[in-house]
A and B are shown apart, each in its own frame.
Chain A
Amino acid sequence: MSETIEQIWRDEWGRLLALLVGQFRRLDLAEDALADAFEAATRTWPRDGIPANPPAWLLTAARRRAVDRLRAEAVAARKEPLLVVDARTQQEAQAAMADPGDQPGALVDERLRLVFLCAHPALAPEAAAALTLRLVLGVSTADLARLFLVAEATMAARLTRARKKLTVAGVAFAVPSGERLAERVDVVATVAYLAFTAGYAPGSGPDVLRVDLAGEAIRLTRLLRQLLQGYAVQSPSAATESVPLLDALLALMLLQHSRRDARVDDAGRLVLLPDQDRSRWNRVEIDEALGLLAGLPQDPAARGHRATEFRLQALIAAEHAVAARAADTDWRRIADRYAALEHLSPSPVIRLNRAVAVAEADGPEAGLVLLDGLDGRWPHSHRVSAVRAELLVRAGRAQEAGAAYDQAISLCTNEAERAHLLARRAAADSVPGSTSG
């Protein structure tokens, strides 16, 4: 039973919440009412059986609770500020409420409105990411706190601030007009990718990866893509313009996510790409990603800047995915892709990755040259020192490598990565003859 309800939560939360927001114009009220309705379901369904139309049952229960609470507030003479919802949207939500069983496809843009509300550029990206996962996907505040590595009270406060900002600033519960739609899809893509990378690059704490968070980011990207394809009926150019961006992003996420089972060993330690057991990579996800990449328009102008960026990153990940063994990797092609990426949008991270690829293709000294001056551009990260140490070991410059490892270890805040660096340093020290030069 609890599995059934959980499944309904995953499938229906965003749609039902969007309807409640459309009618009641209050995020907190809609969320609490819907959570209460699910809670009531876990109590009554095991006893009374699953209703014929579970979403309709939940919506009716949630609406009743919302009305009850509004009544109580009216008695207390409190007046909460309301979200900006235009009259037509409100009418539609009310009509759907009256007959929740019958709305094939009509609600596609209800959920789109919710996505664009939460992932709004007026919010800080971290706040937008948390709020989007909460409102659109129904991830609980406790889970969000765990996923974003903050205390539950901190996450609750962050969500409250974000809801309040949207209401007080007057952000519209609406799908952006045609010419702005592509820009706003960009923002949502950024928010989804931020959530994804937060799952794969935790700054501190005992967990190397938080795979669930990455999984939720993929779910969000899939949902947005599906909603936009549905929306294409109303706004063909704007919706289809953005689909290549989401295809490229989804391909990138899937390729990185496909390695999750091979990235951590049984003892919870990080396993680097060359040492991963490639038979544990998820082939279904890899194949889906390669298919998405193959379907992208060839002309970069037809894809847009951001889509080109995501595409290049995905193509790099794809080079790894198609190499049967680490030794078969085409590092020259990867180095070229990184050079193109750096040309497009220069950043220390891309430069670092490019240096690694160039070292693989042309030897460690060529890689080391590309690291020159990078520490200053990225001063508090251990990553530059860690890569420099590895390349110095390979170049046979053991003494310098030791110093670089020490630097990396002193900067690293992730326990698993730190343990990895300590082990590498010990291994490098014990290589016979490595001190000779």
Chain B
Amino acid sequence: MKYLVLIAYPSDGWSSMTADEQAESHKDHVRFHQAVGEHILGGEALASSSAATTLRHVGGQPVLTDGPFAETAEMIGGFYLIDAPDLDTVVEWCRILPHGYSLEIRPCVEIDMPA
């Protein structure tokens, strides 16, 4: 199964950390990569949600707004796309990531696309 792991943390999370804490956080990601290896199908760190642009269609017209889907205390700061046999395995791996994160683990749905 494929799982998307959404990483959320307080919006001032990274900037309020000391250099040592940032380095520690980085190391956790390295450990995660070592443990999960080729089961990581993709993953990125995202720029701050203040850099987000949201597109919705209103009355058939595309409307752009400044900012993320919803303003929340926590923001999505990154993601991993993982291939794993089951949820318990994903949870086991995610325990390696920095403990300041909230992680939303979402199974992906297989959709057959016409060729």
Contacts and interface: CB of A to CB of B under 8 A. Distances in A.
Contacts of B89: 172
Interface stretch (A163-171, A247-255, A286-294, A397-405): A163-171
B88 A172 contact: yes
Nearest to B2: A170
- Secondary structure type dominating chain B contacts: mixed
Contacts of B87: 84, 122, 169-172
A313 to B, nearest CB: 30
A168 B107 contact: yes
B55 interface: no
Contacts of A171: 86-88
B107 A84 contact: no
A170 B92 contact: no
Contacts of B84: 170
A176 B88 contact: yes
A170 B3 CA distance: 10
B92 A84 contact: no
Nearest to A171: B87
A88 interface: no
Interface in A83-110: 84, 86
Contacts, number: 30
Contact of B85 (A84, A122, A169, A180): A84
A172 B107 contact: no
A86 B85 CA distance: 9
Interface string A300-317: 000000000000000000
B67 to A, nearest CB: 30
A170 B83 CA distance: 12
A428 interface: no
A172 B85 contact: yes
B1 interface: yes
A172 B92 contact: no
Contacts of B107: 168-170
B84 to A, nearest CB: 8
A171 B92 CA distance: 12
Contacts of A174: 86, 88
A84 B87 CA distance: 9
Contacts of B105: 169
Interface string B8-29: 0000000000000000000000
A172 B87 CA distance: 7
Contacts of A176: 88
Contacts of A86: 85
Interface centre among B86, B89, B105, B107 (most CB of A within 10 A): B86
Contacts of A168: 107
Residue of B87, B88, B92, B105 ringed by the most chain A CB atoms within 10 A = B88
Nearest to B95: A180
A172 B92 CA distance: 13
B36 to A, nearest CB: 16
Interface in B86-108: 86-89, 92, 105, 107
Contacts of B88: 171-172, 174, 176, 180
Nearest to B84: A170
User: Looking at A122, A168, A170, which has the most chain B CB atoms within 10 Å of its CB?
Assistant: A170
Interface in A148-177: 168-172, 174, 176
B4 to A, nearest CB: 12
A172 B86 CA distance: 6
B110 to A, nearest CB: 9
A122 B106 CA distance: 12
Contacts of A84: 1, 85-87
Contacts of B1: 84, 170
Contacts of B3: 170
Interface string A110-128: 0000000000001000000
Contacts of A172: 85-89
Interface in A130-157: none
B104 to A, nearest CB: 12
B87 to A, nearest CB: 5
**Which 8 pairs show the lowest CB-CB distances between chains A and B?**
A172-B86, A84-B86, A170-B87, A170-B86, A170-B1, A169-B87, A172-B88, A171-B87
5 contacts: A84-B86, A168-B107, A170-B3, A170-B85, A171-B87
Interface of B: 1, 3, 84-89, 92, 105, 107
Given A169-B107, A171-B86, A172-B88, 12 more contacts: A84-B86, A168-B107, A170-B1, A170-B84, A170-B87, A171-B87, A172-B86, A172-B87, A172-B89, A174-B86, A174-B88, A180-B88
